[in-house]
Each structure stands twice: as C-alpha cells, then as structure tokens.
Amino acid sequence: MGIFDKLASFLGLKKKEANLLVVGLDNSGKTTIINHLKPAESKRHEIVPTVGFSVESFSTKALKFQVFDMSGQGRYRTLWEHYYKDCHGIIFVIDSSDKMRMVVAKDELDQILQHKDIAGRKVPILFFANKMDMRDAATSVKVSTLMVLDDIRDKPWHICASNALTGEGLAEGVDWLTDQVKDVIQAR
Ligand code: G3D
C-alpha cells in the first residue's frame, strides 16, 4: 500500500487499528496528498465519499483515514469532533503559498488543540507545509513560525515541506508519523 506499508504491517502483527485524521483548510492539498497515501486497491474500490462534512473516508488493512475540510463548515464541527476521541494521529495540511489564510489555519489548529478530546493527550501531529513548489511559498520554518508550532509542548509534532503534486516530502512525514503512532498503539 505504498508509504504506509510499515505502519500497516506493524498493526497487522499486533492485530490493532489506527485512526488517522487528515485536516486543513479547503484547497490546502488534502485530497492530492491522500491520493498518494491510498493503496491502489482503495483508489479503485473503497473510496466512500461521506455526507456533507467530510471530504471522504477510506480504510485499508489496519488504517482508517478521515479527511476533513476545516474551513467554512463550522456547522459540521460537532460532527467531525466526534472523531477526535479515537484518533491516534493527525495530519494537518497547510497551503504554504496562502499566507493570507495562515491565520485561519492557525485558528483551526488552536480549536483542535483546545478540544477536550485532544488536549492533554499525546496525539502526534504531522504538519505538511504543502505547495512548496509555488514561487511565493513560505519555507517550512516560516510556516512553523506563522502557526506558532513551538507553543505545542504536550504533543509530538513534526513539519515537512511537501509537494503533493510530485509526492516530494510525503514519505519523510509519514515515516515520522509511523514511529509516533506505533508508540501510541504500544501504550494502549
Ligand atoms: P483540498 O482537498 O485540501 O481542498 P486539493 O485540496 O487536494 O483539492 O488541492 C487544491 C488544489 O491545489 C488543486 O488544484 C491541487 O492540484 C493543487 N495542489 C495540491 N497540492 C499542491 C502542491 O503541492 N503544489 C501545487 N502547486 N499545487 C498543489 P486544482 O487546480 O485542481 O484546484
């Protein structure tokens, strides 16, 4: 299944499942990124577009993904928040070229971090500073500063510059997340 192979086989051995959330503003690149993460089989058969609030959800072997657009859908918030409790890892996608909306992304991140089902838990968060190929894209260091990531002290986090069109940067991020999620699952 590609770049999540390592995690899926680990979970298979342990007979466990991991739930991963993929979130970010609309147009940040979530759909393009998950197209790289999806196994070929799920690309063909298992894609289940979900009603209204979620871009889509899909599962493969021991991994379940839920993908949410966090912008302009405030009224669906309570629906997606329902998934926080059981999630083992979060992938937060940021459009590095959209500095205007970085403050909105930061706002959404704060809402996640302060949520009762996330605050106080060591849920690993992988940030993709996506669209790094764009001429006006901020560097991952700059994105990290704009999003004030250094203030996240109670959770493991990591930021990777990515280009979802070519897949560049995705494997590095997923490798990091895999190690973190393994730790979360071991501790269960
Ligand atoms: P979303 O699912 O978060 O809403 P999408 O975002 O994956 O639909 O991506 C939104 C647009 O950004 C798409 O363009 C997509 O091709 C483009 N995109 C995604 N990732 C990258 C990237 O890393 N670099 C560049 N240059 N573009 C990217 P369209 O034109 O289809 O709307």
Ligand 1 atom showing the smallest separation from residue 130 Cα: 23
Rounded CA gap, 184 and 149, in Å? 21
Residue ranges of domains in the chain: 15-187
Rounded CA gap, 64 and 87, in Å? 9
pLDDT for 49: 44
115 with 44: CB under 8 angstroms?
no
Residues 6+ apart with CB under 8 A from 97: 131, 134, 135, 136, 137, 138
pLDDT for 46: 46
19: helix, strand or coil: strand
Rounded CA gap, 123 and 120, in Å? 9
What is the architecture, at CATH level 2, of domain 15-187? 3-Layer(aba) Sandwich (3.40)
Model confidence over 2-55: pLDDT tens digits? 777 888 888 877 778 888 899 898 899 988 998 887 765 555 444 444 444 455
Partners of 168 in beta bridges? 163
Q: Which amino acid is at 179?
A: D
Which residue, among 162, 101, 103, has the nearest Cα to 128 in the 3D structure?
162
Strands (E), the chain: 18-24, 54-60, 63-69, 89-95, 125-130, 157-161
Model confidence over 54-85: pLDDT tens digits? 555 666 667 777 777 776 556 667 777 888 99
pLDDT for 177: 93
Ligand 1 atom showing the smallest separation from residue 132 Cα: 23
- What is the model's pTM? 0.90
Q: Where are the alpha helices (DSSP H) in 74-151?
A: 77-81, 102-114, 140-146
Q: Ligand 1 within 6 A of 129 CB?
A: no
Q: What are the structure tokens assigned to 116, written together? A: 């009762």
How many Cα atoms are found within 13 Å in the side-chain-facing hemisphere of 111? 16
**What positions carry a catalytic annotation?**
73
8 with 38: CB under 8 angstroms?
no
pLDDT for 47: 44
Q: Whose CA is nearest to atom 9 of ligand 1?
A: 29
Residue 31 CA to ligand 1 centre (angstroms): 8
Provide the mean pLDDT of the chain.
Answer: 84
Q: Whose CA is nearest to atom 11 of ligand 1?
A: 27
